[in-house]
């Protein structure tokens, strides 16, 4: 099973995915945890380029291509092999982030992005995606207390477009998404994540 976590910066994705990893391991699941961009030696190098504050002149298309280059490597080197071994793969962000941030946020052509993403992923889609829902204003407030990278310094209007993009994607494919209010306690969010995963794990496996 392939499970991804999406949401605004500061929504708690990384914490929740780690809590889920611990829960699944304690309950006998073979789990592989990864992230985007990154997850491989090549991907982590691309990540440094993408996040470096010195690269403020990076064009939106360059950014998009770098994300998808790292994604293609991650899928072929790590995700597909893990799925073929029957592991549960947890990924902190995936292709939906590119549609939300580079598509809706950067206002690039969505259909062109989807064609590029399909090439990079080879058609691989998550079985389940959590969207940790948090108002952009709160996400910005939380991130200001943390370190900043090149992608953290966008204006509020950018993050509102990203938020709208996520909700549009969810409306287009509601069976894959689970929306979770990320403004609640860590434990409340974790328990809701666990309930959704348990339901999905007991459902018939989709054909790939």
Residue 61 lies in a domain: no
Which tokens go with 164?
């709208």
Residue 196 lies in a domain: yes
Residue 24 lies in a domain: yes
The band of 138, judged by pLDDT with boundaries at 50, 70 and 90, is confident
Q: Distance (Å, rounded) from C-alpha 172 to C-alpha 170?
A: 5
Residue 53 lies in a domain: no
Structural domains in the chain (count): 1
Mean pLDDT value across residues 135-150 = 73
Query: Under a CB-based contact definition with an 8 Å cutoff, are residues 13 and 7 in contact?
Result: yes
Residue 206, pLDDT > 80, answer no
Query: Under a CB-based contact definition with an 8 Å cutoff, are residues 201 and 133 in contact?
Result: no
Residue 43 lies in a domain: no
**pLDDT above 70 as % of the chain:** 93
Task: Find the length of the chain.
Answer: 208
pLDDT, one tens digit per residue, over 99-124 is 999 999 999 999 999 999 999 999 99
Residue 68 lies in a domain: no
- The domain that contains 126 carries what CATH number? 3.40.50.300
Residue 121 lies in a domain: yes
Query: What's the whole-model pTM score?
Result: 0.92
Residue 129, pLDDT > 50, answer yes
Mean pLDDT value across residues 5-11 = 90
Residue 207 lies in a domain: no
Whole-number pLDDT of residue 208: 47
Mean pLDDT value across residues 40-69 = 95
Whole-number pLDDT of residue 9: 80
Domain that holds residue 189: 2-34+82-201
Residue keyed to tokens 């328990």:
191
Q: Distance (Å, rounded) from C-alpha 31 to C-alpha 21?
A: 7
Cβ neighbourhood burial of 199 (10 Å; 0-12, 13-18, 19+): exposed
């Amino acid at each position: 099973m392939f499970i991804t976590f999406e949401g605004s910066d500061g929504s708690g994705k990384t914490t929740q995915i780690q809590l889920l990893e611990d829960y699944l391991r304690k309950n006998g699941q073979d789990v592989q945890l990864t992230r985007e961009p990154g997850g491989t030696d090549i991907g982590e190098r691309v990540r440094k380029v993408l996040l470096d504050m010195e690269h403020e002149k990076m064009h939106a298309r360059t950014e998009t291509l770098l994300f998808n280059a790292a994604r293609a490597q991650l899928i072929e080197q790590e995700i597909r092999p893990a799925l073929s071994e029957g592991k549960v793969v947890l990924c902190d962000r995936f292709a939906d982030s590119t549609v939300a941030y580079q598509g809706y946020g950067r206002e690039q052509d969505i259909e062109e992005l989807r064609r590029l993403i399909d090439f990079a992923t080879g058609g691989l889609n998550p079985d389940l995606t959590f969207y940790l829902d948090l108002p952009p204003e709160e996400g910005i407030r939380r991130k200001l207390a943390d370190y900043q990278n090149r992608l953290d310094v966008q204006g509020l209007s950018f993050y509102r477009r990203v938020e709208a993009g996520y909700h549009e994607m969810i409306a287009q494919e509601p069976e894959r998404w689970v929306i979770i209010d990320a403004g609640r306690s860590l434990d409340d969010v974790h328990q809701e994540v666990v309930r959704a995963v348990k339901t999905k794990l007991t459902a018939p496996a989709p054909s790939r």
